[in-house]
């Protein structure tokens, strides 16, 4: 098998460019230490691409994304391109990449170890020991359903799920549960939505293949509550596109900041057994703090670690990055979102601390 090392770096706009630059520094350091020979190729997406080409995602970049072994993505959402007169919306870039590359499985791990539990705005006794993984379906549901549109003062979206779409995300979730604590919570709104009733039926059917996994069904509103009341009870959760989006922003308050939350978006394996994927923080381009050099780079750096493990087959390098993040945070080196304005340090200071632990000297 040829070595997988070609990474497309799509920083996007806003803090996307700042946190991606940080993750690139870390990838360079880890590439050097482990002799990975990573090829990091920059590409314009989102607001940066609209500014240069008038479109959020060019065909050329899409082709390069298809050819890469993995994609490191920052964030898109430049508010300058928000209005009806804008040539394109920045967010179209990420939605199109997900859809065009078939990145149907979005993995969002949330961990709160004893040492970091004090950073959460929630009580330490509630969040300490949280170790959950949200598996969010990423290419279906209401974000992609047709028809959608607006007719004057009336607007509509469509929530659609098919049995095969639910089946394949359920297999991913059960497979991951098998490698963890063997508990799966399927989240839906089956008391109201037909798509959710189908979801529940199909997940239950798939469960027959995984008799060791304990399956529970939970309504999304009840899940939102339990995420704050008793987060340690969860192992793997599987849910649709929109519910997963909302629940994981909520879950980011368990470790204490969106700036700590990485994600992996995976396509089905290629015939040669490789797993192309896109890796990005769960947060957006944060226009409110963009350009200030204070964005937390940890979510993106942790996403780069997931990239090394899942798409490049470099578990040791991934573990080295994760250990460097944990040690840096444990030492009390963190950005404003974690430590507040008086103690928080810059994006660059956190990045240098992480790099120094990967490549001392």
Write down the least CB distance from residue 149 to ligand NAI, Å. Answer: 19
Nearest to 75 by CA among 344, 311, 360, 290: 290
If the CB atoms of residues 72 and 286 are measured against ligand NAI, the closer one turns out to be 286
| Of 83, 288, 342, 361, the one binding ligand NAI by CB under 6 A | 288
Which one of the spans 112-120, 291-299, 308-316, 353-361 is the region binding ligand NAI (CB under 6 A)?
291-299
**Quick check: helix, strand or coil at residue 192?**
coil
Residues 73-112 that bind Mg ion (CB under 5 A): none
Residues 238-277 that bind Mg ion (CB under 5 A): 245
If the CB atoms of residues 77 and 244 are measured against ligand NAI, the closer one turns out to be 77
Distance separating alpha carbons of residues 297 and 335, to the nearest angstrom: 8
**HSE-up (13 A, CA, CB side) for residue 154:** 1
69 among known catalytic residues: no
Which one of the spans 129-137, 231-239, 289-297, 302-310 is the region binding ligand NAI (CB under 6 A)?
289-297
Nearest to 305 by CA among 348, 339, 349, 354: 354
108 in a labelled binding site: yes
Write down the least CB distance from residue 281 to ligand NAI, Å. Answer: 6
How many other C-beta atoms can be found within 10 angstroms of the C-beta atom of residue 121? 9
DSSP 265-313: EEPPPPTTS---EEEEESS---TTTTTSS----HHHHHHHHHHHHHTS-
Q: Residue 295 binds which one of Mg ion, ligand NAI, none, with CB within 5 to 8 A depending on kind?
A: ligand NAI
**Quick check: helix, strand or coil at residue 144?**
coil
- Residue 284 is a binding residue for ligand NAI (CB under 6 A): yes
| Of 7, 36, 50, 75, the one binding ligand NAI by CB under 6 A | 75
Distance separating alpha carbons of residues 199 and 185, to the nearest angstrom: 12
143, 161, 210, 279: the active-site residue: 143
Write down the least CB distance from residue 270 to ligand NAI, Å. Answer: 24
290 in a labelled binding site: yes
* Contact assessment for residue 307 and residue 72, using Cβ atoms and an 8 Å cutoff: yes
183-188 vs 6-12, strand pairing mode: unpaired
Write down the least CB distance from residue 287 to ligand NAI, Å. Answer: 6
| Of 213, 258, 278, 305, the one binding ligand NAI by CB under 6 A | 258
What is the H or E stretch that residue 227 is in? Answer: helix 220-229
- Residue 262 is a binding residue for ligand NAI (CB under 6 A): no
Distance separating alpha carbons of residues 213 and 180, to the nearest angstrom: 10
105-111 vs 70-75, strand pairing mode: unpaired
* Contact assessment for residue 57 and residue 79, using Cβ atoms and an 8 Å cutoff: no
81 among known catalytic residues: no
* Contact assessment for residue 172 and residue 139, using Cβ atoms and an 8 Å cutoff: no
88, 113, 131, 249: the active-site residue: 249
Write down the least CB distance from residue 246 to Mg ion, Å. Answer: 7
- Residue 13 is a binding residue for ligand NAI (CB under 6 A): no
- Helix segments in 101-192, DSSP class H: 124-127, 163-178
- Residue 76 is a binding residue for ligand NAI (CB under 6 A): yes
210, 245, 279, 337: the active-site residue: 245
Q: Would you give the DSSP letter of residue 339?
A: H
245 among known catalytic residues: yes
The annotation places the binding site at 98, 108, 136, 221, 245, 249, 284-296
Indicate which residues carry an active-site annotation: 143, 189, 221, 245, 249
Residues that bind ligand NAI (CB under 6 A): 15, 19, 75-77, 91, 94, 258-259, 280, 283-289, 295-296, 299, 335, 337
The annotation places the binding site for substrate at 98, 108, 136, 221
């Amino acid at each position: 098998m040829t070595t997988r090392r070609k990474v497309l770096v799509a920083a996007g706009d806003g803090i996307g460019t700042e946190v991606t630059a940080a993750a690139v520094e870390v990838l360079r350091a880890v590439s050097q230490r482990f002799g990975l020979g990573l090829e990091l190729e920059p590409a314009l997406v989102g607001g940066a691409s609209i500014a240069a080409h008038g479109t959020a995602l060019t065909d050329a970049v899409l082709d390069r994304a298809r050819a890469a072994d993995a994609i490191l993505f920052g964030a898109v959402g430049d508010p300058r391109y928000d209005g009806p007169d804008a040539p394109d919306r920045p967010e179209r870039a990420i939605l199109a990449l997900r859809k065009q590359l078939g990145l149907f499985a979005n993995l969002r791990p949330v961990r709160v170890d004893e040492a970091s539990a004090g950073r959460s705005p929630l009580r330490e006794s509630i969040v300490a020991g949280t170790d959950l993984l949200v598996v969010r379906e990423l290419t279906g549901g209401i974000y992609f359903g047709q028809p959608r549109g607006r007719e004057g003062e009336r607007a509509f979206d469509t929530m659609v799920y098919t049995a095969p779409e639910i089946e394949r995300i359920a297999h991913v979730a059960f497979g991951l549960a098998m490698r963890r604590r063997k508990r799966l919570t399927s989240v839906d709104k089956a008391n109201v939505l037909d798509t959710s009733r189908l979801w529940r039926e199909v997940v239950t059917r798939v469960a027959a293949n995984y008799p060791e996994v304990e399956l529970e069904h939970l309504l999304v509103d009840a899940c939102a509550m339990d995420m704050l009341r008793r987060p340690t009870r969860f192992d793997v959760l599987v849910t649709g596109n929109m519910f997963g989006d909302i629940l994981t922003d909520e879950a980011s308050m368990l470790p204490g900041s969106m700036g700590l939350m990485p994600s992996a978006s995976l396509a089905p394996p290629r015939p040669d057994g490789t797993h192309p994927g896109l890796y990005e923080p769960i947060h957006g381009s944060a226009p409110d703090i963009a350009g200030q050099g204070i964005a937390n780079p940890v979510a993106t750096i942790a996403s780069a670690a997931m990239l090394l493990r899942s798409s490049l087959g470099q578990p040791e390098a991934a573990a080295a990055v994760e250990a460097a993040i944990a040690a840096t945070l444990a030492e009390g080196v963190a950005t404003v979102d974690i430590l507040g304005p008086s103690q928080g340090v810059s994006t660059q200071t956190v990045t240098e601390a992480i790099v120094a632990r990967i490549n001392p000297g």
